[in-house]
Amino acid sequence: MNRTAYLLAFFLLLTGCGQPAVDEPASNEPSEEPLIDIPFQKDGALTISRDDEVYLTLDIEIADTDSSRNRGLMQRNGLPEDSGMWFIFEQESEQGFWMANTRIALDLIFVRSDGHIQSISKYVQPMRTETIPSNGPAQFVLEVEAGFSDTVGILEGDLVAFERSE
């Protein structure tokens, strides 16, 4: 073999011993998908009142299609302060939610078609696969970070109203 052939073989050997390509896993261990954080999108505002006094106003992201309701807060790392996701269903009925692929603990506030809070499920743990029921008919559901309901004093029977942004 001549000197050029040895150099070429040596060069090929060196380049084959480097780091794995970007799209190849570094080992035989299963690779995790990259974490995606979907940003909050303000679609409107929501108020909660008691005895005809508004005591809370929140920014809301609205989920009113099958796709947006199914995705909910999946793949989110948190919510901005004083905000939540507002789910709108076509009609009032028993609702059930689960936390699959949801990374943050939540309070789920189930609201009847007349705007009154039917029930509140507090401190629902992330990634939970069991269904969380509304315990009665609801047409709307508000998801906020866990503990928010206790912090601001939201109660069953309070009145909820919302407006879409223009």
* pLDDT band (50, 70, 90) for residue 9: very low
Check residue 166 and give its pLDDT.
Answer: 76
Question: 21-25, 68-72, 110-114: which has the highest mean pLDDT?
Answer: 110-114
Check residue 118 and give its pLDDT.
Answer: 98
135: CB partners within 8 A, 6+ apart:
110, 118, 119
**DSSP letter, residue 73:** T
More confident residue, 4 or 41: 41
Judged by average pLDDT, the poorest of 38-42, 61-65, 135-139 is: 38-42
Q: Where are the domains of the chain?
A: 41-164
User: Which homologous superfamily is 41-164 in?
Assistant: Protein of unknown function DUF192 (2.60.120.1140)
Computed over every residue of the chain, the mean pLDDT equals 84
Q: What is the mean pLDDT of residues 124-132?
A: 93
Helices (H) and strands (E) in the chain, counts: 3, 7
Backbone angles phi, psi at 84, to 5 degrees: -165, 175
> 160, 142 in Cβ contact below 8 A?
yes
Check residue 19 and give its pLDDT.
Answer: 37
Check residue 36 and give its pLDDT.
Answer: 72
CA distance 97 to 94: 10
* pLDDT band (50, 70, 90) for residue 34: low
